[in-house]
Amino acid sequence: MTSATTTLYLEHDVPLATDPLAAVAQLASSGLHEDYVLYERNGEWSFAGGVLAEVCLDRSGARIRGPEGETLLPWDGAPLRQIQSLLAELAVADWRAYGWAAFELAYAKGGDRTTVGDQRLLHLVVPETEVRLKNGVARVRCTDPKALERTVAALAGPSPAPGRPNPVNVRQTGAEEYQQAVALAIEEIHDHKLQKVILSRVLPLGHDVDLVGTYVAGRRGNNPARSFLLRLDGIEAAGFSPEIVVSVSRDGRVVSQPLAGTRAVTSDPELNRRLRSELLADPKEVFEHAISVRIALDELEAVCRPGSMAVEEFMAVRERGTVQHLASRIAGKLAEGHSAWDAFGAVFPAVTASGVPKDAAYATIRNHESRARGLYSGAVLTVDQDGFLDAALILRAVYRHAGTAWLQAGAGIVSQSRPVREFEETCEKLDSVARFLVSA
Active site residues: 243
How far does Cα 34 stand from its chain's mean position?
21
How far does Cα 375 stand from its chain's mean position?
8
Residues 6 or more apart from 110 whose CB is under 8 A from it? 77
Q: Is there a contact between 54 and 126 (Cβ–Cβ < 8 Å)?
A: yes
CA atoms within 13 A on the CB side of 323: 28
Count the Cβ atoms, other than its own, within 10 Å of residue 366.
14
4 exposure class (CB count in 10 Å sphere: 0-12, 13-18, 19+): exposed
Q: How far apart are the first and last CA of the chain?
A: 42
* Closest to 145 (Cα-Cα) out of 23, 8, 48: 8
Counting every residue, how long is the chain?
A: 440
For residues 1 and 67, give the distance between their C-alpha atoms in angstroms, rounded to a whole number.
Answer: 9
Q: Residue 362: phi, psi to the nearest 5? A: -60, -45
| Sign of the alpha-carbon dihedral angle for 55, 56, 57, 61 | negative
Phi-psi category of residue 387: left, alpha or beta, with phi > 0 → left and psi -120 to 50 → alpha: left
**Is-cis flag, bond preceding 349, omega within 30?**
yes
